[in-house]
Structure 1
Amino acid sequence: MFTSPYPDVDVPEQNVFDYLFGDLGDDERDRVALVDGTSGAQTTYGQLVDRIEAFAGALAARGGEVGSVVGLLCPNSPAFAVAFHGILRAGATATTINSLYKPDEIAAQLANAGATWLVTVSALLAGAKTAAASAGIDDAHLIVLDGADGHPSLQDLLTQGAPAPKVTFDPATHLAVLPYSSGTTGIPKGVMLTHRNLVANVAQTRVIIGLGPDDRVLAVLPFYHIYGMTVLLNFALKQRSSLVTMPRFDLAEFLRVISEHRATFVFIAPPIAVALAKSPLVDEYDLSTVRVVFSGAAPLDGALAATVAERLDTTVSQGYGLTETSPVTHAIPLERDDLDRSSIGLLLPNLEARLLDPETGTDVEPPVERESAPGELLLRGPNIMHGYLGNDAATAATLDGDGWLHTGDVATVGLDGAFRIVDRLKELIKYKGYQVAPAVLEAVLLAHPLVTDAAVIGVADADGQEIPKAFVVARPDAALSADDVIAFVAERVAPYERVRVVEFIDQIPKSTAGKILRKELRAREQGGRSLAST
């Protein structure tokens, strides 16, 4: 068993709202909490708390109660922060939804989560309305933050004048959020995270990621994703930093916002690091205020980190986590220049880790020289999920009886205490930080009338980033091209889920039990077989 080099921290028995804002001092109310990166509009901490309380009061007055599940489908904005924390303040549970989802995907999450409300924006209303109707949510329970005829708006809720409700629940067991993750394999599942889980992870993260009240944090990472949710909406606000929101990533706009709003701390995913390292646009903007670039959501190459650090004359760090761990479990402390930037850093306080040999299932011994042998990373601590909603089998496959979460990632640990992810047992594809479940794409592919069988794996593109590749068995004599397959999938999934490469083969390798043998497909890929692609 491996433990953190940091002493355990206290995890208060508080709900998320009280932990983040209960100690807000009078002198902090005028501090800027949120800045709309597009318009420049500012929200102070005092205004934010008042709006959260008003939102919670209106939601309760309209029938929302402790245990209600509210879907939140919205790009990053100050209004998202109000709605998200308003939901939690009312004692309801927020299920945050990818704003790129198609109506069928939105409806499936709403139904699985048992949502009775949906909060969205007018730009996404068409798909949201279709999904809400499918999930049995009427117009009165479909809130459109920026306003739309026939639906409550954020302004309606904030001016209703209903006091925030007095709610009572156990933070250790009451669900705060239900984000959806594919876990180690399979289709997306609702990850049950309690108020204590989220509070614990902020308390743990405060020790190792040096963010403070003088920092201006660029919030381009989506708030609906656990990374943006915990690190930005919770951790950065607890630290009384200022968040500058962006609704989506566009490189020129990203650079403009950093420059004009004098951002000091930029949280990214590795594809943004590639742009920072390679794009000539970077030289056209003043990025001198950036003191830290912190990467997560997928592995960051050490050489790429060094290139970004040199080009921007800044510190580049990275961390590791899962939706199932709320999410942060490891990070490279900013002051530890001695740690390899391709590592995921040190274990956070209050966490224990094990490495299990993938072949024998026995514990890997601690390193006696530079680095340990590899093993599957297991984690245990107060930030670990309670399980997958309504899916006992998936929960049992991931979370054992002793509380150990099996991550599906293969790691090593060095004498310096830094962990390194070296492989992945799980089949999940990480495309630009987004989770792509092969099972979902395979189901779409098999719906094509000219496809008889299909399998999907992740392969590396020219920049070393993982992309979905489909192996397809077509009907005999079918006039089916790679472009046809790619277009078919693109019409039915979110943009990040699209198949990027197609190879036609005669047969999908499977075990006697019918399970796809992805190892054989990966071996085929590494063997350099010819392929058709876009």
Structure 2
Amino acid sequence: MSFTSPFPDVDIPNVSLYDFLFGGLTDADRARTALIDGGSGASVTYGELDAQVLGVAGALAARGLGVGDVVGLHSPNVPAFASVFHGILRSGATATTINALYTAEDIAKQLADSHAKALFTVSPLLPQAKAAAAQAGIPDELVVVLDGAEGHPSLRDLLVEGNSAPDVSFDPATHVAVLPYSSGTTGRPKGVMLSHRNLVANVCQIVPRMGITADDRLLCVLPFFHIYGMTVLLDAALYQRASLVTMPKFDLPEFLGNVAEKKCTYVFIAPPVAVALAKHPLVDQYDMSSVHTVFSGAAPLDHELGMAVAKRLGCNVRQGYGMSEMSPVSHAIPFDDDETRLDSCGPTVANMECKLVDPGTGEEVEYLAEGSTEVSAPGELWCKGPNVMLGYLGNEQATADTLDSDGYLHTGDIATVDGKGVVTIVDRLKELIKYKGYQVPPAELEALLLTHPQIADAAVIGVQDEDGEEVPKAFVVKQAGAEELTADDVIAFVAERVSPHKKVRRVEFIDIVPKSAAGKILRKDLRTAESASQS
């Protein structure tokens, strides 16, 4: 037995991502603004974007790159990212998008693992990109610096060559379009093979739920190199002919200034940004009235935190769930749903089915009667659908461990579901704390800690006490001016609000909670630091 989406299936055309996004451009579409650089205000129309995409594809083909080749894209959010990303795919090659925060060693590992033959980057990131390319055997003439650098071709150089885009032929269902690398929070980063059909499918699945329209102006601070930004912002927005305002990194004054000055209507964030929007005094100095929706993903958003953002900005707040391995969205609270609690991730998107499986017994949990507002027992979430990856590049064992013979992706996340099909993620299977046999979800305690007015941010992991028992430890960032907050205060605050087995037993104050570029708490970094301090 399984549970499916409450929404009817959507049609998924069997075409390349380029044809899906750009094949139907009208003259009116071509005149519309596609991308706006948040810093300079420079803009690109859909017609100009399409021409640049075709130009990049032609330049790659002229260099002998196409179907069967991998090209690295190492850049923060700038308008040229869209041109290069879609140009790589239009050429028939595969794009492997690389974290802009990576060191030269990290970049080199991804280039080598993906067998990349060329690399696009930007001048501020050139030192590490150049060193990595040298390690991977990529010559300088195939290291393209978008904004130009001596000894390397620029994007402009490629475009002025005037090469026509090649005729290419491949099966959209099996041809790998992109190779994002999984975050590595539970192991070595792995190349996630996503086909053109995977990406097309997920845009078709989420567009009816997101409510993005051509009149929207989206603030894009979530990185395009991450699957969340790639599909939910870049591709879905382009498909709907909306305008995207790019930001290369998160800076709160710039974030707020872009919303106010450029009248952004739809803002996609990760929970750390929600904390700032709910609590930072600077927010009151900017006009945020243009925003009608804030959508959070990449990590769990607490209901109270989401409601605080909604109240302060006077907008709707929604949440979704996904993984790189699902292109990425499998669940989302619809834009027109005002009833579903924000600490859930909403119902399953169309064309998907799911299971909850008890990780201890391997048995599927019992689901509740339709319409029930109670929730099921927790279980590992398994998902199947047209957006699920082909597998991990060159790693058959990891693929077999994650994708079963029935096509279900084992997410590694523990979830519950109610009678309306609304799914709530409890925590990651491998990050649950076991205190005297009881399961303690770190995310639950982190959400609670964030409700404390003197706490700016928090993370929780399991540590060993003197008796060898695993206990919850909180790493806490104080709000400015909250110097008087003590560890005992934090422990008492949590103890008053949770069951005895969920109490925080230890507290450490830190300056910043380590997080990935997509906003996920890097608990593995905290565990590494904790182990080092105990040795």
Is the TM value for this pair above 0.5?
A: yes
Distance 1:328 1:18 in 2: 21
Partner of 2:428: 424
For residue 466 of structure 1, report the CA deviation from its aligned partner. Answer: 3.5
Distance 1:27 1:425, change over 3 A: same
Query: 459, 480, 491: which one pairs with 1:466?
Result: 459
Partner of 1:219: 220
Distance 2:365 2:12 in 1: 30
Report 1:44-55 matches (<5 A). 44-55=45-56
Letter matched to residue 110 of structure 1 = L
Report 1:48-87 matches (<5 A). 48-87=49-88
For residue 464 of structure 1, report the CA deviation from its aligned partner. Answer: 5.7
Deviation larger for 184-193 or 259-268: 184-193
TM-score (norm 1): 0.83
Distance 1:409 1:499 in 2: 19
Partner of 1:327: 328
Distance 1:10 1:500, change over 3 A: same
For residue 463 of structure 1, report the CA deviation from its aligned partner. Answer: 4.8
Distance 1:40 1:507, change over 3 A: closer
Distance 1:296 1:63 in 2: 38
Q: Is the 8 A contact 1:74 1:99 kept in 2?
A: yes
SS in 2 for 1:254: helix
Partner of 2:5: 4
Partner of 1:290: 291
Distance 1:504 1:361, change over 3 A: closer
Q: What percentage of aligned pairs have identical amino acids?
A: 59
Deviation larger for 260-269 or 365-374: 365-374
Query: 394, 411, 414: which one pairs with 1:390?
Result: 394
Partner of 2:237: 236
Q: What is the Cα-based RMSD across aligned positions, in Å?
A: 2.6
Q: Is the 8 A contact 1:81 1:233 kept in 2?
A: yes
Alignment length (residue pairs): 465
Distance 1:231 1:494, change over 3 A: closer
Report 1:112-261 matches (<5 A). 112-182=113-183, 185-261=186-262
Q: Is the 8 A contact 1:468 1:499 kept in 2?
A: no
- 1:417-460: per-residue Cα shift (whole Å, max 9, x none)? 2100112213599xxxxxxxxxxxxxxxxxxxxxxxxxxx9995
- 1:87-128: per-residue Cα shift (whole Å, max 9, x none)? 000000000000000000000000000001010011000000
5+ residue gaps in structure 2?
434-441, 450-454, 465-509
Distance 1:194 1:500, change over 3 A: same
For residue 4 of structure 1, report the CA deviation from its aligned partner. Answer: 0.5
Partner of 1:519: none
Distance 1:25 1:180 in 2: 35
Letter matched to residue 194 of structure 1 = S
Distance 1:33 1:265 in 2: 15
TM-score (norm 2): 0.83
SS in 1 for 2:34: strand
SS in 2 for 1:308: helix
SS in 1 for 2:219: strand
- 1:382-418: per-residue Cα shift (whole Å, max 9, x none)? 0000110001111111000110000011111112221
Distance 1:39 1:229 in 2: 22
SS in 1 for 2:330: strand
Partner of 1:348: 349
For residue 304 of structure 1, report the CA deviation from its aligned partner. Answer: 0.2
Q: Is the 8 A contact 1:102 1:494 kept in 2?
A: no
Letter matched to residue 466 of structure 1 = A
- Determine if the alignment matches structure 1 residue 32 to structure 2 residue 33: yes
For residue 503 of structure 1, report the CA deviation from its aligned partner. Answer: 3.6
Report 1:394-413 matches (<5 A). 394-413=398-417
Q: Is the 8 A contact 2:217 2:245 kept in 1?
A: yes
Distance 1:358 1:54 in 2: 50
Letter matched to residue 384 of structure 2 = R
Q: Is the 8 A contact 1:184 1:426 kept in 2?
A: no
Q: Is the 8 A contact 2:222 2:518 kept in 1?
A: no
For residue 364 of structure 1, report the CA deviation from its aligned partner. Answer: 1.1
